[in-house]
Structure 1
Amino acid sequence: MIFLSLGIVVPASAQQELRQPLTMRAAEDSFLVKNYLLLAQRYQVDADKALIRQAKLWDNPSFSALFGFNSTNNIKPFYIGKGGQTQYTIDQVVQLAGKRNKNIQLATTKATLSEATFDELLRTLRMQLRQNYFNLYFQQQTETVLRTQLRNLQEIVEAYTIADKKGSVAHADLIRLKALQIGLENDYADFKQQELESQKNLQQLLHTQDFYSAEMQPSDTERYSLDGLNLQQLLDYAAQNRPDVKMAQAEYLSATANYQLQKALATPNLHVGANYDKHGTYIDNFIGLQVGIDLPFWNRNQGNIRSAKLQVASEEQQLKQQQSVAQTEVLNAFEQIRAIEKRYPGVILEDFQQEYNKLIDEVAKNFSKGNISLLQFIDYFNSYSDHVKNINRFLANRMNAYEELNYATGQELFNKK
Structure 2
Amino acid sequence: MRTFRLLLLLFTGTGFISSLQAQTPLTPVTLTAVEDTFLVKNYLLLAQRYQVDADKALIKQAKLWSNPSFSTVLGFGSTNNIKPFDVGAKGETQYNLDQLILLAGKRNKNVQLATAHATLSEAGFDELVRTLKLQLRQSYYNLYFQQQTEKVLKAQLDNLQEILTAYTTADKKGSVAHADVIRLKALQVGLENDYADFKQQELESQKNLQQLLHSQDFYAASLDDAMIAHYRLDSIQLPRLLASAVQNRPDVRIAAAQYQSADINYRLQKALAVPDLHLGATYDKQGSYINHFVGLTLGIDLPLWNRNQGNIQAARQTTGVQQQLLQQQESVAQTEVLNAYQKIKALEKRYQDFDLHQFQQEYDALIGEVAKNFSKGNISLLQFIDYFNSYSDNIKNINKFLSTRVIAYEELNYATGQELFNKL
TM-score range, shorter chain: over 0.9
Q: Give, in whole Å, the separation in 1 of the partners of 2:52 and 2:147.
A: 39
1:230 Cα deviation from its structure 2 partner: 1.5
Instruction: From 327, 331, 348, give the equivalent of 1:324.
Output: 331
Tell me if 1:281 matches 2:288. yes
CA contact (8 A) 2:68 2:99 kept: yes
1:92 counterpart residue number: 99
Deviates more, 1:367-376 or 1:34-43: 367-376
Structure 2 distance, partners of 1:148, 1:241, is 46
TM-superposed deviation, 1:280: 1.2
Structure 1, 293-302 or 348-357: larger mean CA deviation:
348-357
2:406 to 380, 399, 402: 399
- Aligned residue number for residue 272 of structure 2: 265
Within 5 A, what are the aligned runs for 1:146-157?
146-157=153-164
Task: Determine the structure 2 residue equivalent to 1:199.
Answer: 206
CA distance in 2, matches of 1:103, 1:11: 62
Q: CA deviation at 1:107?
A: 0.5
SS at match of 1:280: coil
Cα deviation for residue 103 of structure 1 reads 0.3
For the Cα contact (< 8 Å) 2:20–2:154, is it kept in 1? no
Q: Residue 12 of structure 1 is aligned with which of 5, 21, 45? A: 21
Say whether the 8 Å CA contact 2:94–2:282 is kept in structure 1.
Answer: yes
Which residue, out of 321, 346, 350, partners 1:343?
350
Stretch moving more, 139-148 or 364-373: 364-373
**2: CA distance between counterparts of 1:347 and 1:284?**
103
Tell me the CA shift for residue 370 of structure 1.
2.7
Distance of 1:318 and 1:11 partners within structure 2 = 51
Is it true that 1:53 corresponds to 2:54 in the alignment?
no
Give the CA deviation at 1:347: 6.6
1:383 to 390, 393, 405: 390
Q: TM-score, normalised by structure 1?
A: 0.98
Contact 1:240 / 1:323 at 8 angstroms: preserved in 2? no
1:416 Cα offset (Å): 3.5
- For the Cα contact (< 8 Å) 2:20–2:155, is it kept in 1? no
Equivalence for 1:233: 240
Q: Percent identity?
A: 68
Amino acid at match of 2:201: Q
Q: Which amino acid aligns with 2:324?
A: Q
- Equivalent positions of 1:16-415 (< 5 A) are 18-345=25-352, 348-415=355-422
Query: Shift of residue 360 of structure 1?
Result: 1.1
Q: CA deviation at 1:10?
A: 4.1
**Aligned-residue offset at 1:13:** 3.0
Counterpart-to-counterpart distance in 2, 1:276 and 1:179? 104
Structure 2: gaps spanning 5 or more residues: none
Equivalent residue letter for 1:113: L
Q: Secondary structure at the match of 2:198?
A: helix
CA shift in 2, pair 1:333/1:10, >3 Å: closer
Give the length in aligned residue pairs. 415
Tell me whether 65-74 or 230-239 shows the greater mean CA deviation: 65-74
Secondary structure at the counterpart of residue 168 of structure 1: coil
Kept in 1, the 8 Å contact 2:20–2:150? The answer is: no
Indicate the SS of the match to 1:272: strand
Instruction: Provide the rounded CA distance (Å) in 1 between the counterparts of 2:307 and 2:396.
Output: 70
How far does residue 329 in structure 1 lie from its aligned partner after superposition? 0.4
TM-score by length of 2: 0.96
Say what the alpha-carbon RMSD is for the aligned residues.
1.1
Counterpart AA for 1:200: K
Kept in 2, the 8 Å contact 1:272–1:292? The answer is yes
CA contact (8 A) 1:70 1:79 kept: yes
Q: 1:46 to 1:319 in 2, by over 3 A?
A: same
Name the CA distance, whole Å, in 2 between partners of 1:210 and 1:326.
36
- Measured against aligned partners, the alpha-carbon deviations of 1:41-88 in whole angstroms (never above 9, x if no partner) come to 111111101100100000000000111111233322211001101000
